[in-house]
C-alpha cells in the first residue's frame, strides 16, 4: 500500500499537477489539505477518472481536507469528534475513513499564528481533540491499523527547521505544540518519515518568498504518524521535492510512505 499526504494550497490552482502526480506516483491513498474550495467545487470528475473514490470536506476559500482512495472508502467521518470551534465556526480541518482495512485521517492542524494569540490556544485545543480521536479509534478497533497524515504545522525537533535561532518567538516549535505530538506518541503513534533519506534535512515546506526553496530554508511540518502495525510495515518513505519545483507549485511537497501490510 502506498499512502501519501500533500498540502496543495488550493486544489483547483494545483489541479494539473495533482492529476499528473497521481498518474505517475500512483498512491493507493492520497490525503490532501488546504483545498480552498467547497465540496461542490472539488474537481471530483477528473479525480474519479483516475480510479479514486473521494471523501472531501471543505466549505470555501480557506482550509479544507480530503482523502482520495483506490482501495475503498468506508466509515467516513468529517471533523474530529469534539473538535473545537474558532470564532464560532468548526473549520473543515479533518476527515477520516477506512481504506483497505486501514483507518486514516487527513488533518490540517491550525497554524496558531503566534504564542499568546487566541488562534494558538485554539491550535492546542484542536490537537487535544486529535489525540482523543486517536485514542477512541484505537479503543474501538484495536486490531485495525491506523495512521494520521497531514500538515501538522509543527516541526517535531529543532533539526526540522532550517535555523532554530530564527524561531525563538514563533509557533511551530514551542514546547506546548511539541507536547501535543508527544501525546500522539503516548497514544501509540510514531513519526514514520525520519529515516535515512537522500538528503540531510527532509523539509516539506518552503515559503514562496526570498528564494526559500533554492536556499533550502524549509521546515518539516507535513507528517505521517502511524500505529505500531503500520510503522513496522513501512518499506520506504520520502519527501517528493520535485513537486516543489517548476511552474506554479504548492509551497508544500508531498510525503509518500510505502507500507507492506
User: Does the CA dihedral 199-66-120-175 come out positive or negative?
Assistant: negative
Q: Is 196 helix (H, G, I), strand (E, B) or coil?
A: coil
What are the CA-CA distances from residue 54 to residues 32, 78, 96, 167 (Å)?
Answer: 11, 12, 11, 37
- Please give the full DSSP string across 76-107, using - where no structure is assigned: EEES-TTPPPBTTB--S-EEEEEETTEEEEEE
Told to judge if 151 belongs to the known catalytic residues of this protein, a careful annotator would answer yes
Q: What share of the chain is helix, strand, coil (3-state, %, to 5)?
A: 25, 30, 45
Tell me, what's the pLDDT at 61? 80
In contact, 193 and 239? CB cutoff 8 Å:
yes
Q: How many CB atoms lie within 10 A of CB 225?
A: 27
CA distances for 261 relative to 153, 193, 223, 241, angstroms:
29, 17, 20, 26
How high is the pLDDT of residue 198?
52
Of these residues, 137, 151, 160, 191, which one is catalytic?
A: 151
All three cell numbers of 116, joined, read 499568546
134 touches 187 (CB < 8 A)? yes
* pTM reported for the whole predicted model: 0.96
* CATH H-level, domain 2-259: superfamily: Endonuclease/exonuclease/phosphatase (3.60.10.10)
Taking each helix axis from N to C terminus, what angle separates 175-186 and 118-140, rounded to the nearest 10 degrees?
Answer: 0
Binding-site positions read: 7, 34, 151, 153, 251-252
201 burial level (CB within 10 Å; 0-12, 13-18, 19+):
middle
Query: Would you give per-residue pLDDT tens digits along the chain (261 residues)?
Result: 999 999 999 999 999 999 999 999 999 999 999 999 999 999 999 999 999 999 999 998 889 999 999 999 999 999 999 999 999 999 999 999 999 999 999 999 999 999 999 999 999 999 999 999 999 999 999 999 999 999 999 999 998 999 999 987 799 999 999 999 999 999 999 999 865 455 556 899 999 999 999 999 999 999 999 999 999 999 999 999 999 999 999 999 999 999 999
Residues 43 and 32 sit within 8 Å (Cβ to Cβ): no
Backbone angles phi, psi at 50, to 5 degrees: -90, 5
- Phi and psi at 124, nearest 5°, equal -65, -40
Given this model, what pLDDT does residue 25 score? 98
> Which residues are annotated as part of the binding site for Mg(2+)?
7, 34, 151, 153, 251-252
Specify whether 252 is catalytic.
yes
For the chain, the domains span 2-259
Amino acid at each position: 500500500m502506498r499512502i501519501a499526504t500533500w498540502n496543495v494550497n488550493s486544489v483547483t490552482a494545483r489541479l494539473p499537477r495533482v492529476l499528473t502526480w497521481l498518474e505517475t506516483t500512483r498512491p493507493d491513498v492520497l490525503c490532501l489539505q488546504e483545498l480552498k474550495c467547497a465540496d461542490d467545487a472539488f474537481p471530483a470528475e477528473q479525480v474519479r477518472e483516475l480510479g479514486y473514490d473521494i471523501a472531501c470536506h471543505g466549505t470555501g476559500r480557506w482550509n479544507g481536507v480530503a482523502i482520495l482512495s483506490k482501495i475503498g472508502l468506508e466509515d467516513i467521518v468529517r471533523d474530529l469528534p469534539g473538535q473545537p470551534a474558532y470564532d464560532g465556526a468548526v473549520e473543515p480541518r479533518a476527515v477520516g475513513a477506512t481504506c483497505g482495512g486501514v483507518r486514516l485521517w487527513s488533518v490540517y492542524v491550525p497554524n496558531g499564528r503566534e504564542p499568546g494569540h487566541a488562534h494558538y490556544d485554539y491550535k492546542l485545543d484542536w490537537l487535544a481533540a486529535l489525540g482523543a480521536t486517536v485514542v477512541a479509534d484505537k479503543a474501538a478497533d484495536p486490531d485495525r491499523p491506523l495512521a494520521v497524515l497531514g500538515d501538522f504545522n509543527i516541526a517535531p525537533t529543532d533539526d526540522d527547521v532550517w535555523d532554530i535561532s530564527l524561531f525563538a518567538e514563533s509557533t511551530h516549535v514551542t514546547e506546548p505544540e511539541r507536547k501535543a505530538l508527544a501525546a500522539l506518541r503516548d497514544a501509540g503513534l510514531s513519526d514514520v518519515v525520519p529515516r535515512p533519506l537522500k538528503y540531510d534535512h527532509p523539509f516539506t515546506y518552503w515559503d514562496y518568498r526570498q528564494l526559500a526553496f533554492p536556499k533550502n530554508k524549509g521546515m518539516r511540518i507535513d507528517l505521517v504518524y502511524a500505529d505500531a502495525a503500520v510503522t513496522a510495515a513501512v518499506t520506504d518513505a520520502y519527501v517528493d521535492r520535485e513537486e516543489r519545483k517548476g511552474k506554479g507549485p504548492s509551497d508544500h511537497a508531498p510525503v509518500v510512505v510505502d507500507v507492506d501490510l
